[in-house]
């Protein structure tokens, strides 16, 4: 770096530092201990020197998977997950995950090396030339570029603060190749770094907002709480549990909020979802948006007459983003603040004189629940040949019950929907899945991150299509010897394996894969354990062995290829399926 090394500008110390070192020092100073990356020009030395400096550097086979790993590490730890990539194509591969992090409100920083600014800006054709900053901006919560070594401290500090404060999201940090080799005085370099103070400050709700919410809740006849992944992210599990139990209000966990309270809790209304949504009169959303996953808070799901009609519910919404309220339907009592502070304020406002909801409401919820649970138990008890989703997931359900600390990764269509409803979760932040976009490809990246940062056994339930998006990362799982047990629900295709080519030609239908594929053999190539399971008994034994040995394991679970339905539970969103009706 020219200015800092000019005679007279350096301080007394003789030692110099450089851009590489300052990035590493800045990350470490802020408690970052893991980097998810894929090396190459210009960041190869950054990955090496990070490892030398004691960071855990996990290298992937494709940047998208490193990015997904970083995003979910952010969700699990509240620290921004760091993904490090090369320029242009590497950056673009990572960009999907950055957008995913922003969409899901996960804190993540995508750090990409970039080519020479002068050449990029004049479009003179540099190696991997691209104006990455401009491209990242629309999908990132914030995007910054650092040109001078003495600004690295500020750049990293801003990136961290932007990722974790307020509504968390994905941040892009552009580090041009020239930056890394810039030298500056070591003392001055050290002084330029910033340890971020209070990166995600508490945000207390206004007392009048708390009162408004409590008034609504107190007068409700049929109240309902919806817990979203924001509530899981907030890590205030005891307070949320206290709120549910003190008020006695039934709650519905969104997919990644499952286990915040055990799914077997008497107030869990998951098994009565289609009853409680239209019937509730006051709904309190805690860290959950009224997006498509909740049918936008209106329509028939909520008891509305037509597909877009309001069902008559009043809504309380706890969210850190003031802009979220009214995005779909009227929010009668927005409670803006961090979930911890909001829930505590509600708890103290409730005091001791709270009346629990009447037995007519709790009783009918319980009745619906037990009917549905009974019906499910009957289905799960069946043992058809070939194995279907239910009989296979009955095994997964038992294994998760016996290993409640294990983290469950889940993606696919039917493989997702059935797992979500069949496999109970018992602890917070143990279920990580396709999230807000319903995205395929998060699987193996999530497995690596979960095993690395949470240091728990990981169980992944993967559709055979879903698995294919990140399947090569089984090498990564084997390389780092991670305790990951992957179950591929192999029904020979996307949704099912029975489609035929309508034109009758030699190509199979677009949803169909090689029949009887042996996914188990992929992991064997890298020294992991592969198991071919055609019965629940074989699946059970293989999963038990995997959990006991903690060896990287891939079980090819052969599922009846006729078992799935088009798009799983979201057939209604599929235009061609709608046309057929």
Site of tokens 């019906």: 375
Examine residue 284 and tell whether it contacts ligand ADP (CB under 6 A): no
| DSSP three-state, residue 75 | helix
Nearest residue (CB) to ligand ADP, 287 versus 530? 287
Partner whose binding site includes residue 289, from ligand TZD, Mg ion, ligand ADP, none (CB under 5 to 8 Å by kind): ligand ADP
Partner whose binding site includes residue 102, from ligand ADP, ligand TZD, Mg ion, none (CB under 5 to 8 Å by kind): none
Examine residue 256 and tell whether it contacts ligand ADP (CB under 6 A): yes
Examine residue 146 and tell whether it contacts ligand TZD (CB under 6 A): no
Tokens at residue 552, please? 């990287």
Which residue from 1, 108, 440, 558 is in contact with ligand TZD, where contact means CB under 6 A? 440
The per-residue DSSP string of 134-182 comes to HHHGGGSSEEEE--SGGGHHHHHHHHHHHHHSSS--EEEEEEEHHHHH-
Residue 279 and residue 311 in contact, taking contact as beta carbons nearer than 8 Å: no
Examine residue 441 and tell whether it contacts ligand TZD (CB under 6 A): yes
Q: Rounded to an integer, what distance in angstroms lies between the CA atom of residue 83 and that of residue 469?
A: 18
Examine residue 239 and tell whether it contacts ligand ADP (CB under 6 A): no
Examine residue 494 and tell whether it contacts ligand TZD (CB under 6 A): yes
| Chain center to CA of 150 | 34
Nearest residue (CB) to ligand ADP, 287 versus 471? 287
Partner whose binding site includes residue 105, from ligand ADP, ligand TZD, Mg ion, none (CB under 5 to 8 Å by kind): ligand ADP
Site of tokens 């999907």: 96
DSSP secondary-structure letter at 447?
Answer: H
**Residues 217-236 interacting with ligand ADP (rule: CB under 6 A):** 228-230, 233-234
Which residue from 279, 319, 464, 560 is in contact with Mg ion, where contact means CB under 5 A? 464
Which residue from 248, 303, 340, 438 is in contact with ligand TZD, where contact means CB under 6 A? 438
Partner whose binding site includes residue 321, from ligand TZD, ligand ADP, Mg ion, none (CB under 5 to 8 Å by kind): ligand ADP
Q: Rounded to an integer, what distance in angstroms lies between the CA atom of residue 98 and that of residue 73?
A: 13
Partner whose binding site includes residue 167, from ligand TZD, Mg ion, ligand ADP, none (CB under 5 to 8 Å by kind): ligand ADP
Burial 181-193, CB ≥16 within 10 A → b, else e = ebbbbbbbbeebb
Examine residue 554 and tell whether it contacts ligand ADP (CB under 6 A): no
Which residue from 184, 415, 522, 557 is in contact with ligand TZD, where contact means CB under 6 A? 415
Cα–Cα distances (Å) from 169 to 23, 228, 442, 492, in that order, read 21, 16, 17, 36
Examine residue 444 and tell whether it contacts ligand TZD (CB under 6 A): no
71 φ/ψ angles, rounded to the nearest 5 degrees: -65, -40
* Interaxial angle between packed helices 339-350 and 237-247, expressed in degrees from 0 to 180 and rounded to the nearest 10: 30
Nearest residue (CB) to ligand ADP, 106 versus 426? 106
| Neighbouring-strand partners of residue 18 | 183
Which residue from 90, 297, 334, 412 is in contact with ligand TZD, where contact means CB under 6 A? 412
| DSSP three-state, residue 301 | helix
- How far apart are CB 104 and ligand ADP at their closest, in Å? 6
Q: Rounded to an integer, what distance in angstroms lies between the CA atom of residue 148 and that of residue 146?
A: 6
Partner whose binding site includes residue 68, from ligand TZD, Mg ion, ligand ADP, none (CB under 5 to 8 Å by kind): none
């Amino acid at each position: 770096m020219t200015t800092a090394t000019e005679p007279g500008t350096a301080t007394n110390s003789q030692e110099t530092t450089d851009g590489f070192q300052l990035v590493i020092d800045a990350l470490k100073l802020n408690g970052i201990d893991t980097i998810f990356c894929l090396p190459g020009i210009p960041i190869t030395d950054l990955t090496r020197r990070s490892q030398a400096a004691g960071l855990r550097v996990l290298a992937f086979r494709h940047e998208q998977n490193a990015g997904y790993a970083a995003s979910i590490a952010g969700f699990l730890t509240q620290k921004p997950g760091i993904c490090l990539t090369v320029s242009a194509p590497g950056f673009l591969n990572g960009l999907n995950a950055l957008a995913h992090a922003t969409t899901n409100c996960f804190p993540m920083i995508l750090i990409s090396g970039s080519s020479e600014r002068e050449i990029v800006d004049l479009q003179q054709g540099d190696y991997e030339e691209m104006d990455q900053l401009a491209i990242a901006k629309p999908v990132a919560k914030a995007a910054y570029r650092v040109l001078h070594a003495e600004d690295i401290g500020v750049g990293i500090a801003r990136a961290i603060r932007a990722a974790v404060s307020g509504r968390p999201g994905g941040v892009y940090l552009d580090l041009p190749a020239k930056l890394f080799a810039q030298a500056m005085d070591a003392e001055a370099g050290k002084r330029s770094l910033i340890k971020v103070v209070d990166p995600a400050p508490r945000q207390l709700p206004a007392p009048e907002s708390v009162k408004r919410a409590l008034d609504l809740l107190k007068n409700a006849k049929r109240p309902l709480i919806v817990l979203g992944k924001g509530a899981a992210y907030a890590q205030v599990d005891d307070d949320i549990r206290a709120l549910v139990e003190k008020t006695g209000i039934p709650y519905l966990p969104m997919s990644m909020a499952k286990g915040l309270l055990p799914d077997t809790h008497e107030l869990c209304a998951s098994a009565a979802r289609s009853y409680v949504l239209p019937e509730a009169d006051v709904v309190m959303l805690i860290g959950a948006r009224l997006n498509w996953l909740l049918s936008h808070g209106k329509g028939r799901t909520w008891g509305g007459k037509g597909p877009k009609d309001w069902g008559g519910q009043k809504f309380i919404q706890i969210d850190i983003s003031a802009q979220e309220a009214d995005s779909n339907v009227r929010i009668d009592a927005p409670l803006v603040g961090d979930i911890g502070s909001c829930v505590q304020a509600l708890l103290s406002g409730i005091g001791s004189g709270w009346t629990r909801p009447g037995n007519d409401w709790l009783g009918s919820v319980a009745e619906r629940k037990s009917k549905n649970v009974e019906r499910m138990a009957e289905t799960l008890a069946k043992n058809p040949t070939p194995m279907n989703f239910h009989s296979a997931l009955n095994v997964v359900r038992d294994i998760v019950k016996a290993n409640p600390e294990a983290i469950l990764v889940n993606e696919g269509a039917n493989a997702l929907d059935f797992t979500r409803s069949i496999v109970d979760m018992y602890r917070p932040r143990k279920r990580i899945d396709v999230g807000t976009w319903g995205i395929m490809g998060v699987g193996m990246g999530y497995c690596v991150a979960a095993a690395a940062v949470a240091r728990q056994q990981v169980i992944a339930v993967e559709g055979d299509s879903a698995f294919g998006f990140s399947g090569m990362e089984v090498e990564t799982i084997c390389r780092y010897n991670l305790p990951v047990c992957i179950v591929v629900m192999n029904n020979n295709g996307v949704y099912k394996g029975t489609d035929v080519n309508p034109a009758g030609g030699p190509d199979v239908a677009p949803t169909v894969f090689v029949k009887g594929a042996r996914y188990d053999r992929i992991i064997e190539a890298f020294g992991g354990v592969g198991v071919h399971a055609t019965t629940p008994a074989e699946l059970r034994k293989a999963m038990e062995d995997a959990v006991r040995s903690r060896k990287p394991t891939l079980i090819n679970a052969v599922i009846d290829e006729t078992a799935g339905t088009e798009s799983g539970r979201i057939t209604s969103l599929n235009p061609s399926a709608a046309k057929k009706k």
